[in-house]
Structure 1
């Protein structure tokens, strides 16, 4: 059963657009997923300006989860990582008590090309909100896949479909990438309390209704939900067990509003270390800062 349908809201990030899905006014989180952006799709021309890049910026209290269908992004962070991510791979960065990173489209600047993917944030449970920051990259071959009757899937993180991903997570969750041929069917099992489907490309039929690209279907708990591809389709399935409400302000996520205020003060005062290999510029704290828990 479909509980809620969320349509993406297009946001211009200064060079390309994303479709913002979570957080949403009527649904702040799905399991531990507190933020969900559909990046592109966009065709980069060679020589794209540097303002398309995401300059160094901070996070606390979450893990960033970057997954691409097309293109390449270069990640650099304050724990010394420098790692390009390519289609089917996973960059999992745990901010914990604080990390800074940049995301740059260096290959797109050199060569041009298609860029398309998802960036999600997974909130950490309270016991792990102040954990040490870390970064891990997983190759496409590191993540389990499955296939049946025109429906191919990759388990990005967590446990589902009888499989377990090697990705280290901090709470019960699942994250699946589906690719379906027209007419192929698949299902989201009732393993977790909170679940959602996101149509990243194409169109699906669910419970007799058609849903096109850019729509997230939040599913009611307790029953398996089947879906069928009406066109060639890319679908993300996500969710997990709820971990409690979170405050969100700018790039900070935490169960404590006071802790977010401290993080803002630390960034404003230059007390958060910049990436080792990308420290000549950064994104300043927005002034005045946006209100807690933005509704758009």
Structure 2
């Protein structure tokens, strides 16, 4: 199987972290991804830290990529017309085009985000909406997946989006391995909030991480809010507030996503029948699994297994 070619387009003032982070994630899976960097011209660019980046490829090399990623850069300096043309050409040639943080401004200035839903760092979201009223700006989410065009919020949300890309390409097992390689959270849903709007003191000086870990070990059980709150030693109302503050979503939504995620792992790593996958993941029946899985993933459990399964017969985690 040919490696998926990921090319990062480093523009002037590119943020060093947001350039290095995708390289780290995708190169940790070097048998699956081939990673390269290009700059608008052979003269290279200067990073946000003042270091020069030279010796990379140029815009013509973008055509060789399967996925083009535009990290955050000094977007206030504008976008060279040659870059806008190259990005539009990539999309027309069915390349996957991705932006991290304020890299969304490059996509917007290229016209790629026209009539599309997109996000960027929450501080710059209003500016993106004002300067590009034809873009449907979602100010709160971690990332937006529009199939061939994907955008993320700032910094750590870029990690989430890169792991999301791995998940789309190779499934949950490989994405979780990439997360472990990067010492990152294995799965944060794109619809989570970018930041917590108000501070809530954590009861007993600890987070609810232990309760989440406890729940993940009991997904096959019919967990209810009362049991989760009791494990966290909080009232149900207080538990919900703290849970949302820590995860950006309600406890039951988090639990539903965790069950789908575990079902994916079972489909990838075992030969368990669909009804057993449903039971072990806490989704009850095969019919319920198919309904929820299809609604969430856009394909049936069997189709997902055919696409991503690798080592059938291995022990389930």
TM-score (norm 1): 0.25
**Higher fraction of strand:** 1
Q: Answer 1 or 2: higher relative contact order, Cα 8 Å, separation at least 6.
A: 1
**Higher fraction of helix:** 2
TM-score (norm 2): 0.24
